[in-house]
Amino acid sequence: MDSYLIEYIRSLDALHGTGPTFVNGVASGEDTGEFRVKFRTVAEGQWQMFGVPKASNQKNIDNFTKSLQSHDFKFNLKLPLPNPSRARLGLIRVAYLIAFKYLGYGFLVNMNLGVLRYQFRNPQEDVYPIQSVLFPFDQPDDFLGINVISNPSNMKCYFVVFDIQAKNGLTRRAGVMLPGPNDRDSQMFKDMESFNGMTITINHFDIEFSDKLEMPRLAHAIWNTVGTTDS
């Protein structure tokens, strides 16, 4: 997985108490000075925080520990989390590879995928709309794999659903919209915000890995199966 995506998921596990990982942060009391910490939630209303002596002034850690005995002690905690946009770009990359795995080279023969490839090469630029990623996507297993959104007609696209997990963490489900081969599909992603709140129709396809060898044009066959008036 993409390193930004891994760190983002680990951070979610640490903050929600769904995995064994910690997030790095900086803590400070009113008069104790700052020091580096590792933080995680272990249960609802319960958390763990450890000072990192090798990256901190030990005196600040000791003063902070002593101050915790005071009932009215207040402290600040800064948790610089990974960039969620870079993490979502990692999810788009995963969906792209899954689509290629099941749909074969026919999926790649699509001029609208050029913007994705450019975004992969230039992750610092904001080119591909992050709204195309639904994460988490809390829907049943029926949608796992390759789908096509067919309604509304101007939102027609491939929709790839998959599970993702950091080591020993919670399994989370993602749904990613990828452009189809129509001339106007790239425009659909520019207008993504206008689709908020709409009811959509998702068509699922059960595809075996071997199918792409038998049907090199499988991607276009699936695309033309639904919403043919828009193709």
pTM for the complete prediction? 0.84
| Residue 159 contacts residue 148 (beta carbons within 8 Å) | yes
Close Cβ partners of 202 (under 8 Å, ≥ 6 residues apart): 143, 147, 148, 149, 150, 159
With b for 16 or more beta-carbon neighbours within 10 A and e for fewer, the 161-182 pattern comes to: bbebebeebeebbbbbbbbbbb
pLDDT tens sequence across 96-147 = 999 998 888 888 888 888 888 998 999 888 777 777 898 999 999 999 999 9
| pLDDT score of 24 | 94
Q: Is 218 exposed, middle or buried (0-12, 13-18, 19+ CB in 10 A)?
A: buried
pLDDT tens sequence across 165-203 = 988 889 999 999 998 887 665 566 666 666 667 788 899
Question: Rounded distance, CA 149 to CA 169, Å?
Answer: 30
Domain-wise residue ranges, the chain: 3-78, 84-230
Close Cβ partners of 151 (under 8 Å, ≥ 6 residues apart): 199, 200, 201, 227
Question: Rounded distance, CA 62 to CA 40, Å?
Answer: 20
